Amino acid sequence: MLLGCIGDDFTGSSDLANTLAKAGMRTVQYSGVPAGAAAEDVQAGVIALKSRSIAPQDAIKQSLDALKWLQAQGCTQIFFKYCSTFDSTQEGNIGPVADALAEALDAHKVIVCPAFPGAGRSVYQGYLFVNDTLLNESGMQNHPLTPMTDANLRRLMAAQSVHSVGHVAADVVFAGTEAITDALERQHAVGNRMIVLDALRDEDLMQIGAAAKGLPLITGGSGVALGLPANFGLSPAPVPWQGQKGKAAILSGSCSTATRGQIAHHIAHHPALKINPADVIGGTQTPESVAQWLIETDGLPLAYSSADPAEVAAIQKQFGGAKAAQALETFFGATAVCLRDLGVARILTAGGETSGAVVEALDIRMLEIGPEIDPGVPALRASNALVIALKSGNFGSVDYFEKAASMLENG
């Protein structure tokens, strides 16, 4: 194994695995730290953790366990992958995990770059934008678990990391790989260990990737990984895929602006069932009943708890944010198990926490990476009888669910 990757959620990990596979690396996504050794032909291993919203010390332990396994497979470079919207708070896990990995690897000049232009995420003057809007005005300020109220990556990282935070501006990045390499060295010379890099285009990420050759640790969104396979002498190649016929069902727990738009579009053309958190907590809406409805309903049925910010705030006030979130995650995981047991062949999920809960409940240990559905979202094979698509809340076109179901079936 050449490149070892640690992802802080399941959707982001599949996003990264998709990027690497398209760029020519034989890539496998693991759910948690594997028990045994990787297959000899695996060039990039992506360990998906569910560590984004847990206590920092727990996230650090899980990430260091993943690092040890990847090192045992012979990896010469480590990539710590977090969301392209830098989902975290000042007490969040990105800084502490990056610090711990940097110490374990004796890594300096650590790149910090969540940019993903293909999905509308760019970094300019150290500020993170979602399309043409600052992160904290994009809807992410209403995220129920990791509300983002600041777009300044230097300020966010400085609040979490024990190290000084530097910056490489866009004009330097535009000048190419050599200029970026020199700038990273200058930042290191003045004592900055975590270094935010601007990136507005895929070309910028390719240059950053080339400048990262030989660095023991890189952190960021999947976009930075665009240029990494070339450092190992690899080039883009088609991703093989065998589609799966059979019943499809959609489970959505994401409350993002993008997912709510996708749900509105889907409801206009397909059947949908609203999941009420109060009914879930009270036990009057059960995984078994929802799974049965999804199985018996023709077309491409959707079960969703996704809601607008006002409704989410009311639910959190009534039950508490942690209790409501845990109840829904457990509910969607149990629903997915029922669906699998009832013979569903294709499961689509929306939302990082929802996707993680589903993968864990289904006890999926390894995922085969298929072709890209939308930027950042690949088709995934979980077993001979089941294929899935794990979508981060903010990703995908308005007709994403229809496209994903078709890709999973036909390729």
Domain annotation for the chain: domains and CATH numbers: 3-231 (3.40.50.10840), 248-410 (3.40.980.20)
The CA-based diameter of the chain, rounded to the nearest angstrom, is: 64
Question: 207's torsion region: left (phi>0), alpha (psi -120 to 50) or beta?
Answer: alpha
**The pLDDT of residue 90 is above 70:** no
CA distance 110 to 194: 5
**In a 3-state reduction of DSSP, which class is residue 40?**
coil
**In a 3-state reduction of DSSP, which class is residue 165?**
strand
Structure tokens at 266: 């889907």
- What pLDDT, on the 0 to 100 scale, is given for residue 361? 96
Rg (Cα) of the chain, in Å, rounded? Answer: 20
Mean pLDDT of 268-293: 96
CA distance 59 to 40: 28
CA distance 182 to 159: 26
- What pLDDT, on the 0 to 100 scale, is given for residue 3? 98
Place 266 in a pLDDT band, splitting at 50, 70 and 90: very high
Q: Whole-prediction pTM value?
A: 0.85
Distances, alpha carbon 77 to alpha carbons 67, 83, 303, 367, in Å = 10, 20, 40, 22
| CA 341 to chain centroid | 27
Asked if residue 121 lies in contact with residue 224, where contact means CB atoms within 8 angstroms, the answer is: no
Structure tokens at 168: 């490489």
- What pLDDT, on the 0 to 100 scale, is given for residue 144? 67
**The pLDDT of residue 42 is above 90:** yes
**The pLDDT of residue 142 is above 90:** no
